[in-house]
Structure 1
């Protein structure tokens, strides 16, 4: 029974903290537009430039036409 005197107030404090964080995020507009982020990946125009990397960057020909085998 004594454990309940400690765990219930701790649970209430944790729940209050998460409620405060949720309200703060809601006021900042984090939940206003939930549709467009999932479509944003379709509108990327170019791949990021890779400098000083061991893997070669994708060439423009490979990106537009796809991989081709010229044997």
Structure 2
């Protein structure tokens, strides 16, 4: 997991939390990103929790989709 900053054409800075996860369906590595506005420790921790939840949903969702198609 790592943090990066992005600035758009209007000069507004966004902060992102990025993490890679392995897709159980394809076996390929994929990237998940959550962005936030402020670069404070509270915002970083909240974004990290949201990213972990997002990855959990992506992994469980693809597995559930696979098992419904198999049956």
Is this a same-fold pair by TM over 0.5?
Answer: no
Choose between structure 1 and 2: higher helix proportion. Answer: 1
**Could you say which structure has the greater relative contact order, defined with CA pairs below 8 angstroms and 6 or more residues apart?**
2
Larger CA Rg, structure 1 vs 2: 1
Choose between structure 1 and 2: higher strand proportion. Answer: 2
- TM-score bucket of the superposed structures, by smaller chain: 0.3 to 0.5
